[in-house]
Amino acid sequence: MHEPVKTSASPSLKPQPILHLNLRPFFLGGLGFVLFTSPFMRGLFFQPELLTYLMITAAAFAFCVYDQVLRREVYFLRTPLDYAVAALVAAYALSLITAVHLRPAISELLKAAAFFMVYWTAARAVRGEKDMDRLLHVLYIAGLGVAAVGLLAAARVIDFPGAFENGVIMSTLQYKNALAVYLAAVNVLGLGLSLKTELLLPKIIYAAGNTVLITVILGTQSRGGWIIYPLAMAALVALIPRGLRWRAAYHLFIFLGCGLVTARFFYAHLPVAQGAALLKYLLAGLAAAFLLQAAYHFLALWLNRDEVAEATRRLVAVGGLAYCGLVLAVYLWYAAAAYPVAAAQILPGKVISRAETISAYDPSFRQRLEYYRDALRIVRDHPVTGAGGGGWNALYHRYASHLYWSTETHSHLFQTWVEAGTLGLAALLAAWAGFIRLLVRLKRRESGEGPAVSTWTAAVAALTLGVHSAFDFDLSLAALGIFLFALFGAVRGMAGEPERRAQAGHGGPEGVPPDRPAAFTGGGNRNRAAWIKVIFSRFFRSIPDGPGSPAGGRKGLAGRDAPARPSSTARRLILAAMAGTLAAAAVIYPARAFHAAGVAGAEGARALLAKDMEQAKGRYEQAHRLDPFTASYAADLAQIWAVQAAARDDATARYRAIKYAREAAGAEPYNTRVRATLVNIYSLLREYDLMVQEAAALVAADPLQAVHYEVLARARLDAARYHLQRGEKDPARRYLAEAAQMPGQLPAAIPRPTPPLILSAGQAAYIMGDLPGAAAYLEEAARDKEAAGREARLWLAALYTRQGQGQKAAALLENLRKEEPETDKIYREVLSLSL
């Protein structure tokens, strides 16, 4: 085998960029914009913001791939982490096959693709320590902004919806647990960055920023965040180079102490003060952080002077060690014996009471275990490719043992398992395994103190978010997923930097092994022309190879030059450009369509409120055309056409109403709101058999809601009366029998039948001629003081009349006439009902 040709030995073969274009600023700008602004957009949890950022992320990724192609960098998926993150996208793509609701499944696939794009873009953005520090600063400043919004909203200086509610800071993420762990990870970044500077001003800025972060973390009232915080800080101190550990500990004690005292006064005065009267406590805490950090800085400088005796240095070191030991001992003693009493001197009362509830017997903890149990039941029925994105929210009521509400499993592991099946869970675990493997390799590599601090800061921040997401749904907020995968990519970039430097001197594309990275610089017109020939030689085989051509020429059987073929590197670069374009388009096109559909749907809703049916119809049809997977657009169209069909007795409108109703049911079969809407539509159209089918599907979608059984019983009763009017006794008898039996067929989670359900059962028994059974049901329903009681008394009057108890019937009717003028008319109708 031939060794790679060295660039220095063969300058003419030095690999050059295809074109002298620098696309790096474009993808760096896109990445920076997404990383900095996404936490302010409600965490990208809601579709309008999410879809916009998906398009921006895909565009930045496309520029990143094009930049890589133009630089002729042939390394792509190489590490296990690369393959695992890509496999996670593939798993979500496969989940579309078995997805129960296609629209949220597509949305989750787009999110997974965006996470990979952020990962890859960040990996190429970070080429060394300076790039890593820039990325960490972007994330850190964004976190400070999120914390500031929370504090200012709590102080009622600004009005940000959902940032502060019921005494809890939720800031722009609008979920306290996610905010707490996000700011804990950002605080890790702040501590790590503060260790890298020797200048006083940056140190005190970091100290102030970290003090703000601690104050807000305490204000979130998130017990999970409080648990994960000390573990994250301890991990960072343990993993950074040994020479910086004491500095890290002192920096931590400075801003932690200032943050605790600031929180004590800030939250204690929060109910009675606002604005400047409240912010003065925050400013005092920041001033204390300034002074303490400055004092530590100058003390360190003084100790490093030559004239300071060694004994003095040892004395100060022993004093610092004794201080830290004393603080740790006091903390442990109070935590074990009388933590609430000790903490009351430092922490605000709400923080103390919240901390006291941390227990394995806490209802929140026990509820999470129930979520996980139900998630496993879903996985059992969808084991390989999962139920698709949104599968938990669609199915969990069908598997729950009692009624509860949770759109998330509160565990990213279980959420992925439910949505993408065992394949998705395996890919997720492989990603974490690949990340840890990368960290182990970095730990063994001597890379210098500065790069090591940056790398481990990013790694611990990622692990902080990852560990907490194992028992909460932090990563369901796409902004936090972007944060995590950007850190993954940054560490990946640092891991690949020595390899890029080591191989930067190898020769042309044929000289670089296809599985090894290379960094190319410089360029010339001759080499560019040669590459153009290589690319087009597959299509224009008559173009001869010039000297220096990367592909070279070859002799045919007749001795003439055979057409040149593109090198393996050229083919890989062409394929990479095509793959990057297709991947970006696969995200941008559906995201753009879904966003436009959302805008059209909102305009349709406004037109519907204004009773402009034609305008509403046009907007909803546009939304349904752009996004045929969202059931609500089809359901709204079905409702409009049903109203028009009923008003004009229009057969065409009736046909379209039923058509859209069926499309809505097929798009989201477990959407209870859509199913309830379709029940009303079929009732309006007098399609009673279809109405019963939809009501039964409503019960199947959520069998723990008592009101759904009321809807089904009423639908069966109405369908029976309709068939009786048409002289069709067999279907009427079937519906009546089913309605009469429903009170005894409820699941164990519903303790007793509701009065409306009992009323429907009594009415069904009455029509079938089971007067004793009807009397038992109707008398029980009549005891209800609401509408069911009045209707039950009227039916009881008809029942008493049939039984020959005229006086009882007359007494009931006399009272009912005072409440309902149409009593006699309804009474005669009921009296005539009989199977």
Residue from 399, 380, 392 nearest 416 by CA: 392
Residue from 666, 774, 781 nearest 100 by CA: 666
Tell me which of 473-482, 507-516, 648-657 is least confident: 507-516
Question: Rounded to an integer, what distance in angstroms lies between the CA atom of residue 455 and that of residue 464?
Answer: 14
339 pLDDT above the threshold of 50 = no
CB atoms within 10 A of CB 192: 28
Residue from 208, 343, 349, 211 nearest 269 by CA: 349
Question: Rounded to an integer, what distance in angstroms lies between the CA atom of residue 580 and that of residue 369?
Answer: 41
The residues spanned by each domain of the chain are 129-358+445-474, 526-566, 705-835
Burial tier of 291 (Cβ tally within 10 Å: 0-12, 13-18, 19+): middle
Share of the chain above pLDDT 90, in %: 59
The band of 341, judged by pLDDT with boundaries at 50, 70 and 90, is very low
326 pLDDT above the threshold of 70 = no
Greater confidence (647 vs 535) lies with 647
pLDDT at residue 528 in the model: 43
Q: What's the N-to-C CA distance of the chain in angstroms?
A: 94
Segment (H or E) for 561? strand 561-562
3-state secondary structure of 612: coil
Greater confidence (834 vs 693) lies with 693
Q: How many residues does the chain have?
A: 835
357 pLDDT above the threshold of 90 = no
Which residues are bridge partners to 506 per DSSP?
6
pLDDT at residue 499 in the model: 52
One DSSP character per residue, 118-175 reads HHHHHHHH--SHHHHHHHHHHHHHHHHHHHHHHHHHHTTSS--TTSEETTEE-GGGT-
Q: Are 551 and 537 in contact (CB under 8 A)?
A: yes
3-state secondary structure of 358: coil
Query: 383 Cβ partners below 8 Å, 6+ apart?
Result: 421, 422
- What average pLDDT does range 574-596 have in this prediction? 94
pLDDT at residue 13 in the model: 45
41-86: pLDDT as tens digits: 999 999 999 999 999 999 999 999 999 998 888 677 889 999 999 9
User: Six-digit token pair at 414?
Assistant: 């279980």
CATH for the stretch 705-835: 1.25.40.10
Question: Rounded to an integer, what distance in angstroms lies between the CA atom of residue 737 and that of residue 745?
Answer: 12
9 pLDDT above the threshold of 50 = no
- What average pLDDT does range 229-239 have in this prediction? 93
Phi-psi region of 357 (alpha: psi -120 to 50; beta: other; left: phi over 0): alpha
Burial tier of 426 (Cβ tally within 10 Å: 0-12, 13-18, 19+): middle
The band of 552, judged by pLDDT with boundaries at 50, 70 and 90, is very low
Greater confidence (15 vs 809) lies with 809
Which residues are bridge partners to 554 per DSSP?
562
557 pLDDT above the threshold of 70 = no
649-705: pLDDT as tens digits: 889 999 999 999 999 999 999 999 999 999 999 999 999 999 999 999 999 999 999
pLDDT at residue 225 in the model: 85
3-state secondary structure of 555: strand
Burial tier of 359 (Cβ tally within 10 Å: 0-12, 13-18, 19+): exposed
Q: What is the sign, positive or negative, of the torsion defined by CA atoms of 39, 45, 48, 53?
A: positive
716 pLDDT above the threshold of 50 = yes
| β-strand pairing of 164-165 with 168-169 | antiparallel
Tell me which of 401-410, 522-531, 697-706 is least confident: 522-531
3-state secondary structure of 594: helix
Burial tier of 750 (Cβ tally within 10 Å: 0-12, 13-18, 19+): middle
User: Six-digit token pair at 601?
Assistant: 């749907």
3-state secondary structure of 410: coil
Quote the pTM value.
0.85
The band of 322, judged by pLDDT with boundaries at 50, 70 and 90, is low
Query: 479 Cβ partners below 8 Å, 6+ apart?
Result: 38, 39, 41, 43, 44, 173
pLDDT at residue 442 in the model: 87
One DSSP character per residue, 260-314 reads HHHHHHHHHSTTT--THHHHHHHHHHHHHHHHHHHHHHHHHHHHTSTTS-HHHHH
Residue from 184, 219, 196, 191 nearest 207 by CA: 191
- What average pLDDT does range 482-494 have in this prediction? 96
688-701 vs 706-725: helix crossing angle, rounded to 10? 170
pLDDT at residue 570 in the model: 81
Which residues are bridge partners to 165 per DSSP?
168
Please identify which residue in the block is written with the tokens 């979920």.
175
87-116: pLDDT as tens digits: 999 999 999 999 999 999 999 999 999 999
Q: What is the sign, positive or negative, of the torsion defined by CA atoms of 618, 688, 714, 399?
A: negative
pLDDT at residue 787 in the model: 64
In eight-state DSSP terms, residue 563 is: P
The band of 153, judged by pLDDT with boundaries at 50, 70 and 90, is very high
Phi-psi region of 461 (alpha: psi -120 to 50; beta: other; left: phi over 0): alpha
- Output the CA angle 492-567-586, nearest 5 degrees: 55
Share of the chain above pLDDT 70, in %: 82
Residue from 702, 421, 550, 419 nearest 15 by CA: 550
Q: Are 191 and 210 in contact (CB under 8 A)?
A: yes
Q: Residue 649's Cα: distance from chain center in Å?
A: 46
Burial tier of 301 (Cβ tally within 10 Å: 0-12, 13-18, 19+): exposed
Residue from 357, 364, 324, 361 nearest 340 by CA: 357
- What average pLDDT does range 259-275 have in this prediction? 84
- What average pLDDT does range 468-485 have in this prediction? 94
192 pLDDT above the threshold of 70 = yes
436 pLDDT above the threshold of 90 = yes
Mean pLDDT of the chain: 84
pLDDT at residue 372 in the model: 94
307 pLDDT above the threshold of 70 = no
Q: Are 460 and 184 in contact (CB under 8 A)?
A: no
587 pLDDT above the threshold of 90 = yes
523 pLDDT above the threshold of 60 = no
Question: Rounded to an integer, what distance in angstroms lies between the CA atom of residue 171 and that of residue 188?
Answer: 19
User: Six-digit token pair at 91?
Assistant: 């798993």
Residue from 718, 720, 716, 698 nearest 708 by CA: 698
Question: Rounded to an integer, what distance in angstroms lies between the CA atom of residue 43 and that of residue 596?
Answer: 21
One DSSP character per residue, 617-645 reads HHHHHHHHHH-TT-HHHHHHHHHHHHHHH
Alpha-carbon dihedral 485, 486, 487, 490, rounded to 10 degrees: 120
pLDDT at residue 402 in the model: 87
- Identity of the residue numbered 626: L
The band of 349, judged by pLDDT with boundaries at 50, 70 and 90, is low
